[in-house]
Structure 1
Amino acid sequence: MNVKKLFDLSNKVVVITGGAGLLGSQYAEGLTQAGANVIIADTNFEACKKIAKKLDQIYDKNSMPIKLDITNKKSIDGMVNKILKKYSKIDVLINNAAIQGNPKLRTTSFEEFPESEWGKALDVNLTGMFLCCQKIGKVMVKQKKGVIINVSSTYGIVAPDQRIYGKSGQNAAAFYSATKSGVLNFTRYLASYWNGKGIRVNTLSPGGVEKGQEKEFVKKYSAKTMLGRMARKDEYVGAIIFLASDASSYMTGSNLIVDGGWTAW
């Protein structure tokens, strides 16, 4: 047994959707440090380019920024073609892209919530993931190997506690729970479907990250976790590297929960 080799991602080609976001950018840096060639894919192409340039300068790697709309098949096809032209393979897909909805609608009651926003969330959080898995899954089937990590949430496992949002009137939208819950069984389906094809599919379910929210919200959220705090933005990198590497070689169809104990009591 060689523990360093278990977590080594040298020359692995890893696609991260939503790669320019708060957590996506953290995953990109961690995976780069582990040796991977990272494809940073996001609708925000300028941010992708900045992140890729930074990683290449610091770690002397060969990352690739790509403008990607996961709800658009042509956009996904274009990304895959560029990756295969440059690297000739795709080892890992991290379906990290998701939306939490228009902030202006966070105070809207469920009874009055617009159907258009519900539909938009389904398009990104579920259909976009479906399309990425479908296209990149074809590549992995031909390769006879690959790893897919679908990102869910604690709110895909348990209902959000609306009480922690306080007098702000903010609340967690119904579509977020519905889509993130759907991710869990979509993962199990794919793990079962690609059984025997050399493709492993797992879910990561992270908890909330502290990012300048109201003090009262952070206090109430923290009180609901066993560790007594929200996550730092870099605290899911270890889980991502574990799921992407051979360290998780006997794991498929599973859900890795990293939430400070939120869902454990």
Structure 2
Amino acid sequence: MSEQVFDPVFNVAGKTVVLTGGCGLIGRAIVEALHQRGAKLVIADVEAADPEAFAASFGDSCIGVPTDVADANSVAQLLSKTLEHFGQVDVLINNHHAKPKGFLEGQAENFPEELWDHVLDVNLKGTFLTCRDFGSQMLKQGAGSVINMASTYGVVSSNPALYEDNQMGNPVAYSASKGGVIMLTQYLGCYWASRGVRVNCITPHGVWNHHEEAFENRFSAMSPMKRMMKAEEIVGSVLYLASDASSYSTGSNVLVEGGWTAW
């Protein structure tokens, strides 16, 4: 692991941060950055991702908790283990999302109901459940920051031309779920604002993950920056919202999408 760093502006040292989807591509970049800056981490992910083994590589300041965010009992257990181990929760980062088998192939006119339910259960209901339970704890503490991961496809519609001649796609359920996450963020951000709990979201887009060349080329041609996003480029916005640097920000959506929604 990288050496510890002190960041006087985006200071998260000593903060207890709970991160769902912590074993994924973006999650790992966030974990590394927060660990470097002295945060105490609770890495939550599905059991198959083995968050306990991943957390163990960061030492005693980090624990892993297998979690199904779509299950209220599992979310309650995550909160209980967080408080048992660290005594409080300062930051919640909802970085989970569902991409079940057949997810990319479904068209709006024939999208399977079971896939719709699964995606909405994880992406939207799961975000609601974690916000509800951890937000309640933050209200008791009188302070806290919730960061939800949204998507450009919760802001604007996907362009079908992006998915021609490649194996990628953007199903209707994903857009609907992420649009819901943004509105949930705005609602809670205003509802809890006067009680010390801030709720914001981040919108990344096109995070490179060894995509097929045809898709990467088409994405780059359509992006103002002419390239895909690197996972570590999410870190700056996370540090801003997790730290006191964003003390007057709530209900906002920080766009980290290379200008995709600006034209």
Could you tell me the TM-score, scaled by structure 2's length? 0.94
Question: Hey, what does 1:53 align to over in structure 2?
Answer: 56
Deviation at 1:166, TM superposition (A): 1.7
Question: Hey, what does 1:68 align to over in structure 2?
Answer: 67
Question: Hey, what does 1:192 align to over in structure 2?
Answer: 190
| Structure 1 stretches of at least 4 aligned residues deviating more than 3 Å after TM superposition | 44-47
- Tell me if the contact between 2:166 and 2:212 (Cα under 8 Å) persists in the aligned partners: no
Question: Hey, what does 2:115 align to over in structure 1?
Answer: 117
Deviation at 1:45, TM superposition (A): 5.7
Give the letter aligned to residue 49 of structure 1.
E
- 1:147 pairs with 2:145: yes
Question: Hey, what does 1:165 align to over in structure 2?
Answer: 163
CA distance in 2, matches of 1:223, 1:138: 44
Deviation at 1:175, TM superposition (A): 0.6
Question: Hey, what does 1:16 align to over in structure 2?
Answer: 19
2:180 is aligned, of 179, 182, 189, to 182
RMSD of equivalent CA atoms: 1.5
CA distance in 1, matches of 2:56, 2:160: 40
- Tell me if the contact between 1:146 and 1:198 (Cα under 8 Å) persists in the aligned partners: yes
CA distance in 2, matches of 1:51, 1:169: 30
Question: Hey, what does 1:41 align to over in structure 2?
Answer: 44
- Tell me if the contact between 2:203 and 2:255 (Cα under 8 Å) persists in the aligned partners: yes
Deviation at 1:108, TM superposition (A): 3.0
Deviation at 1:55, TM superposition (A): 2.3
CA distance in 2, matches of 1:226, 1:9: 32
- Tell me if the contact between 1:7 and 1:34 (Cα under 8 Å) persists in the aligned partners: no
2:220 is aligned, of 219, 222, 225, to 222
Question: Hey, what does 1:259 align to over in structure 2?
Answer: 257
- Tell me if the contact between 2:7 and 2:37 (Cα under 8 Å) persists in the aligned partners: no
- Tell me if the contact between 1:45 and 1:65 (Cα under 8 Å) persists in the aligned partners: no
CA distance in 2, matches of 1:96, 1:43: 12
Question: Hey, what does 1:242 align to over in structure 2?
Answer: 240
CA distance in 2, matches of 1:25, 1:227: 24
Show structure 1 runs of 5+ residues with no match.
Answer: none
CA distance in 2, matches of 1:75, 1:180: 22
Matched positions, count: 258
Question: Hey, what does 2:135 align to over in structure 1?
Answer: 137
CA distance in 2, matches of 1:22, 1:44: 16
Which deviates the most, 249-258 or 43-52? 43-52
- 1:27 pairs with 2:22: no
Deviation at 1:169, TM superposition (A): 5.6
- 1:5 pairs with 2:5: no
Could you tell me the TM-score, scaled by structure 1's length? 0.93
Show structure 2 runs of 5+ residues with no match.
Answer: 1-5
Identity between Structure 1 and Structure 2 (%): 40
Deviation at 1:168, TM superposition (A): 3.5
CA distance in 2, matches of 1:239, 1:170: 27
